[in-house]
Amino acid sequence: MLKILLPVDGSDYANKAITGFIALLDWYKEKPELHLLNVQYPLRGNAALFINQTDIKQYHQEEGQKELQSTCALLDQAGVAYQYHIVVGDPAEMIVRFASEKQYDQIVMGPRGAGGIQGLLLGSVSSKVMQLAKTPVLLIK
């Protein structure tokens, strides 16, 4: 069975990609094992020095679950089984690392963020994932 990683952040772009992917599930011989991944940015500055690590971890979990709600609702409504994971770090690097460590067969995500010239100058999570990943990446508009 194929293991597919679906990085999501609760944005309209991510939900549009999930909706598009749900429509493509019939392309697979057997239903793949789906795993949602939400990456939280680490706290900035010295905040971590003054806040209990347990509280920080709980904060990231709560924020990740908020960002996963709409995607989970889409998959639940379509009757698609999934698991979810929440990690902390640089989104592109964590997606690539998670996919490699857990040996996913494919990463499916939407091309999101700044487009055009801005996207070339700033880069985007999806383009960085495509550059770094050894796992095949499927972009869904």
Distances (CA, A) of 104 to 35, 91, 96, 134, 136: 9, 17, 10, 10, 9
pLDDT score at 114: 39
pLDDT score at 49: 65
CA 141, CA 136: separation in Å to the nearest integer?
16
| More confidently predicted of 33 and 45 | 33
Q: For 79-108, how does the pLDDT look when each residue is reduced to its tens digit (9 = 90+)?
A: 999 999 999 999 999 999 999 999 999 999
**pLDDT category, 45, cuts 50, 70, 90?**
low
